[in-house]
């Protein structure tokens, strides 16, 4: 489990079909490597990977075909990546619960600097991502915990406002229109949706009926927004 608060930048280098080498930035490597051990989990651009070998300035990890198919990992050499070690019991939760199991990918449409933030617009054509995109909901973009400021009803387009600190300290500032990003919806929304589907499937007349899908209108009517 992670928080979506990036600790360090690094670079990723694919080695073979399933091995990844991650090198941490020297200035912040201590935040990742100070007590890193084989078997630990690290979010790499929002993807939970298991450390299989510790290196002086980074670590090695294996990636399954499912992980490579569903994410942007392994698509180039020396790609800047966001890094976060797993959440410790008792630690502050400054972002939101991020599992590191990305739902799919999206693309940067535009990035506009304003007086107080960077307004970044993303698109996705993957329904397994779009269904969890709602106004004021949480989303992890390349492992960065962000709040959705605006979106279309279908969730195929959304905008986030990124404060200057987050923009500068993560790989979001490397993105250009068309850049691919990893997206993970809020895990709490997924469990709510599953519970509603089970309630409907039981078909008991004593149970409240569940909607066909979890919508912003339904959540607003029941006090979630």
**pLDDT value for 207:** 47
Confidence of residue 73 (pLDDT cuts 50, 70, 90): very high
The answer to whether position 157 is within a domain reads no
Last residue of a domain, one of 85, 115, 145: 85
Query: Stretch 22-28: mean pLDDT, rounded?
Result: 93
**pLDDT value for 200:** 67
**pLDDT value for 91:** 77
Is residue 46 scored above 50 in pLDDT?
yes
The answer to whether position 205 is within a domain reads yes
What is the tally of structural domains in the chain? 2
Full domain range(s) for residue 210 = 188-221
The answer to whether position 140 is within a domain reads no
The pTM score is 0.85
Indicate the average pLDDT of the chain: 89
**pLDDT value for 210:** 46
Last residue of a domain, one of 85, 110, 126: 85
Is residue 44 scored above 70 in pLDDT?
yes
Is residue 222 scored above 90 in pLDDT?
no
Is residue 162 scored above 50 in pLDDT?
yes
The answer to whether position 90 is within a domain reads no
Mind listing the pLDDT tens digit for each residue in 90-145?
A: 777 778 889 999 999 999 999 999 999 999 999 999 999 999 999 999 999 999 99
The answer to whether position 42 is within a domain reads yes
CB contact set of 1 (below 8 Å; sequence gap of 6+): 86, 87, 97, 98, 99, 100
> Positive or negative, the Cα torsion across 124, 101, 172, 53?
negative
Q: Write out the chain in H/E/C secondary structure.
A: CECCCCCEEEEEEEECCCEEEEEECCCCHHHHHCCCCCCCEEEECCEEEEEEEEECCEEEEECCHHHHHHCCCCCCCCEEEEEEECCCCCCCCCCCCECCCCCEEEEEEEEEECCCCEEEEEECCCHHHHCCCCCCCEEEECCEEEEEEEECCCCCEEEEEECHHHHHHCHHHHCCCCCEEEEEECHHHHHHHHHHHHHHHHCCCCCCCCCCCCCHHHHHHCCCC
Residues in the chain: 225
Is residue 25 scored above 60 in pLDDT?
yes
Bigger pLDDT: 162 vs 88? 162
The answer to whether position 130 is within a domain reads no
Q: How far apart are CA 120 and CA 174, in angstroms?
A: 12
High-pLDDT (> 90) share of the chain, %: 70
CATH (domain of 33):
2.40.30.20
The answer to whether position 199 is within a domain reads yes
Let me know: does 126 contact 103? Beta carbons within 8 Å: yes
The answer to whether position 109 is within a domain reads no
Last residue of a domain, one of 36, 60, 85: 85
Q: How far apart are CA 161 and CA 148, in angstroms?
A: 8
């Amino acid at each position: 489990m992670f928080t979506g608060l990036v600790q360090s930048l690094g670079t990723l280098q694919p080695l073979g079909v399933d091995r990844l080498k991650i090198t941490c930035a020297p200035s912040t490597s201590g935040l990742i490597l100070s007590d890193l051990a084989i078997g630990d989990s690290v979010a790499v651009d929002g993807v939970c990977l298991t450390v299989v070998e510790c290196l002086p300035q980074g670590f090695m990890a294996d990636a399954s075909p499912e992980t490579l198919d569903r994410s942007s990992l392994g698509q180039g050499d020396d790609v800047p990546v966001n890094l976060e070690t797993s959440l410790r019991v008792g630690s502050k939760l400054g972002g939101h619960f991020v599992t590191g199991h990305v739902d799919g990918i999206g693309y940067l449409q535009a990035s506009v600097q304003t007086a107080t933030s960077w307004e970044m617009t993303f698109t996705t054509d993957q329904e397994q991502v779009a269904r969890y995109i709602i106004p004021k909901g949480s989303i992890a973009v390349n492992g960065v915990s962000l709040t959705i400021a605006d979106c279309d009803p279908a969730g195929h387009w959304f905008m986030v406002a990124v404060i200057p600190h987050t923009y500068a300290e993560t790989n979001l500032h490397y993105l250009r229109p068309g850049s691919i990003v990893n997206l993970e919806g809020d895990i709490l929304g997924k469990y709510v949706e599953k519970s509603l589907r089970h309630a409907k499937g039981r078909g008991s007349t004593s149970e409240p009926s569940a909607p066909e899908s979890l919508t912003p209108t339904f959540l607003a009517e029941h006090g979630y927004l």
